[in-house]
C-alpha cells in the first residue's frame, strides 16, 4: 500500500468535512420542510422600508414663495419628503436631481405629487438662497423648500431622526415617502436613491387604498 502524503491527507480531510456539511444541510432542510423560496419574502418596494405604524411628524412651515406648507394638509396623497441645504454642493443637489428624475417618470411629470424639502440649516437657507438653489435645478415650482425658526426646526429634525448641519456631508441625507394615511413607509439614503426606484415606490403607494 502506498504511503499517503501530508497534502493528500489534508485534501481527504477537507473532502470528508465538505461531504459532512452537505449532509447536515440536506437533513436540516428536509426536516424543516422549507425551501429557499418559502423563507425569502421579497418586498414590493425598491427602497428600504420603515418600521410599521411610524407616523410622519407633522409641521407647518413657510416655503420659498412665502406659502404656508403643512404636512397634514396632504393627507390622502403620497408625499416625497427630503432634508436639504441650499448651499450644499454634494448630496443635496444629487437628491434633488434624483427626485426630479422620478417625478418626470410619473404621469403628468409628477404634478400632483407633493414634494417637500426641509431645511437643515435655517440661518443659511434664506428665501434668496432657497430660490437660487431650486432654480439651478429647475425645481422652483416642483419642490416646496420650507424653513422656520431654529427651535421649530429642531423639533422637526428630532421627529425624523435627522442630524442637521451645513458642512459637506454634515447632515443626514434621506428621501422619505409618506403614504396617504400619513405614515412613513420608505426611506432612501442618498447612496441608495435612483429615479427609477423612487418612481416605482411612489406608484406602489399611490395604488394603495386610503
Q: Which residues pair with 62 in a beta bridge?
A: 68, 147
pLDDT, one tens digit per residue, over 159-193 is 999 988 765 556 788 999 999 999 999 999 999 99
What is the rounded CA–CA span in Å between residue 194 and residue 101?
8
Pairing relationship of beta strands 79-84 and 144-146 according to DSSP bridges: unpaired
Query: Taken in order 52, 94, 60, 141, is the CA torsion positive or negative?
Result: negative
Give the global pTM.
0.78
pLDDT, one tens digit per residue, over 2-16 is 444 444 443 444 443
- For the chain, give the mean pLDDT: 84
Whether CATH 3.40.50.150 fits 60-207: no
User: How much of the chain, in percent, has pLDDT values that exceed 70?
Assistant: 78
What is the rounded CA–CA span in Å between residue 202 and residue 197?
9
Cα 25 to its chain centre, rounded Å, is: 36
Question: From first to last of its 210 residues, what are the pLDDT tens digits of the chain?
Answer: 344 444 444 344 444 344 444 444 433 443 444 434 334 568 899 999 999 999 999 999 999 999 999 999 999 999 999 999 999 998 999 999 999 999 999 999 999 999 999 999 999 999 999 999 999 999 999 999 999 999 999 999 999 999 887 655 567 889 999 999 999 999 999 999 999 999 999 999 999 987
CA atoms within 13 A on the CB side of 72: 5
Amino acid at each position: 500500500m502506498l504511503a499517503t502524503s501530508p497534502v493528500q491527507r489534508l485534501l481527504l480531510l477537507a473532502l470528508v468535512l465538505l461531504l459532512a456539511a452537505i449532509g447536515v444541510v440536506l437533513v436540516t432542510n428536509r426536516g424543516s420542510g422549507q425551501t429557499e423560496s418559502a423563507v425569502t419574502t421579497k418586498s414590493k418596494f425598491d427602497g428600504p422600508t420603515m418600521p410599521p405604524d411610524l407616523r410622519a411628524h407633522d409641521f407647518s412651515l413657510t416655503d420659498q414663495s412665502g406659502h404656508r406648507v403643512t404636512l397634514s394638509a396632504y393627507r390622502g396623497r403620497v408625499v416625497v419628503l427630503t432634508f436639504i441645504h441650499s448651499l450644499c454642493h454634494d448630496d443635496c443637489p444629487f437628491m434633488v436631481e434624483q427626485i426630479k428624475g422620478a417625478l418626470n417618470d410619473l404621469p403628468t411629470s409628477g404634478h400632483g405629487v407633493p414634494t417637500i424639502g426641509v431645511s437643515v440649516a435655517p440661518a443659511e437657507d434664506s428665501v434668496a438662497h432657497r430660490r437660487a438653489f431650486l432654480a439651478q435645478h429647475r425645481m422652483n415650482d416642483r419642490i416646496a423648500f420650507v424653513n422656520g425658526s431654529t427651535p421649530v426646526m429642531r423639533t422637526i429634525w428630532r421627529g425624523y431622526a435627522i442630524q442637521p448641519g451645513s458642512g459637506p456631508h454634515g447632515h443626514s441625507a434621506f428621501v422619505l415617502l409618506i403614504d396617504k394615511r400619513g405614515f412613513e413607509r420608505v426611506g432612501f439614503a442618498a447612496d441608495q436613491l435612483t429615479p427609477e426606484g423612487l418612481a416605482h415606490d411612489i406608484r406602489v403607494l399611490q395604488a394603495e387604498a386610503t
